[in-house]
Structures are given as structure tokens and as C-alpha cells.
Amino acid sequence: MSIDAAHRIIAERRPGFRPRVALVLGSGLGRVAERIEDPTRISYEELPGFPVPTVAGHAGSLVLGRLSGVEVLCLNGRVHAYEGGDGAARLKVLVRTVKQLGTQALVLTNAAGSLRPEVGPGSLVLIRDHINMLGFNPLQGPNDEAWGPRFFSMRDAYDPALADRFRRAATTAGIALPEGVYLAYPGPNFETPAEIRAFRTLGADLVGMSTVPEVLVARHCGLAVAALSAVTNLAEGMSDTTPSHDETLAQGAAIARSLETLILAFLESLKHGH
């Protein structure tokens, strides 16, 4: 089984490691991984069943170590629905391996377009809920009862206690942290202006091409989840700028410092239990 094999390799490379938090870093947001102390790096290619990203800005590696005195597992890079292949099955392996390592919480980050003019490029947004427009769910197909039930609630998909901790961390760090609903769009094309108008009507505040699959698998197996969007652009039809992946990477890199500050403050609060 890929999960057991991946777990065994990680345990061999870092004996006794039991991360309290796993961090998933989105497009252009890999800077946080560079801050990890006493790091052990493992390429996804070395881990059976792990999804290897094919998109620029996604390194495709695990970094194990400590941040702010907390043991963390950093997943530097992710795969997306538009990459095709067996990504959905491999995503389950990745998230369930995180769970098997004893992780308590999964913190996801992504680069996203904003559907709110007042939340422009450079903003960090705390995701409070999502809308799945990907057209698929990685849990489709036979259910493995060892990991979770066939049917499960998504009422608190984004854990209220973790969200509250991020709010307090943002206040401590002096970072504005508006909240919003994230809509997952399949891509790889950016959305049309008409689609953006429709998504605003549906109640979306952010749009991107990731995150929701990981949340679904994580909640199925009982991991607590928090998620942050780094706003890289206003969505199509809301500005004169045409969205591009280069812009996403550039803006993501610019926001990475604020994201790093916020995550460090969040982990500091975990360490001190306040």
C-alpha cells in the first residue's frame, strides 16, 4: 500500500518525527519552507503514490522540521485537477500519509483571484467555506472505511478553532485578514468575465484551481483544516489586467513575506497554547 510505503520512508529519513501541523504551499508561496529549522527534505518522486507537480512554482517536496518551535511537515507544491492522470488517487495518498504521521491539523495555502474589489492583489484572506465547481471529488469510487465514512458532514470543513487562532495571530502580527468563500474552478484556463459574474452571484469571494480536493480528503479522515488565500489578482472583468500564471507567481512571491509572518505567529500561538 502506497501510504504505508511512504510513511515507512519518511520514518526512516526522520525517525520519531510526529508533526503537529502540515502546511501545503501554493503557487509562488514556497518561501515558508525555507524558514524550517533542522530540515529533512524528501522529493515527492521518492515517495510511492505521491503526486508529482508539473506546474511552475510547485517544487514537489516534503520538508520536515521545526518552525517557531513546533514540529511541522511542509508540503511544498501540489497537483491540480487540470493536470489529469491519476492525481486524485495520489492526492488521497498524500493527505492520508500526513494523517498517518500523527498530524493534528492541515493548513492549506493557495494563490487566488479576488471577486471583491476592496480585497485586491497583495491581500491575505482566511477561507471560511468553499464551493466545489471542479466537477469531481477525489473520494468518488469505492470508500475505504478504514479512513472515514461513505457520507460525512462538511458543516465545519474549515475548523472554527483554527480559524479563531489565525484571526488572533493576524491581530498580533498586525496583518489584515478578511474572510471569504473560495470557489474551486477546474482550469487550466482562467475564468471568463461571465463566469466571474455568475460566481459572485453564487456567493464566492475568491476563485482558484486547488485546495478543495485536499480539504475533502482531509475532512473525510478527520484532519482539522484551515486555509489561506494569497490574492494575486482581481478576477477577469474586474480590472484592466489580464490574469496570467506569471502574474500569479510574481504576486505570490510578493505576498509570501506576509504569509510567512502570519504562519509563524499562528505556530507561536500553538506552542504557547493561547
Determine the Cα–Cα distance for residues 86 and 216; give it in Å rounded to an integer.
17
- Do the beta carbons of residue 97 and residue 91 sit within 8 Å? no
3-state secondary structure of 139: coil
- Strand positions, DSSP E, 68-160: 70-76, 105-114, 124-132
Determine the Cα–Cα distance for residues 40 and 73; give it in Å rounded to an integer.
10
**Comparing C-alpha atoms, which of 164, 174, 124, 158 is closest to residue 269?**
164
- Strand positions, DSSP E, 50-160: 61-67, 70-76, 105-114, 124-132
What is Dmax (Cα atoms) for the chain? 52
**Is the bond preceding 138 in cis, omega lying within 30 degrees of 0?**
no
Cell of 250: 510574481
Sequence-distant (6+) residues with CB within 8 A of 92 are: 138, 139, 217
Q: Just list the catalytic residues.
A: 27, 58, 80, 82-83, 111, 209-210, 233, 245
Quickly list DSSP for 184-250. Answer: E---SSPPPHHHHHHHHHHT-SEEESSSHHHHHHHHHTT-EEEEEEEEEEEPTTSSSSPP-HHHHHH
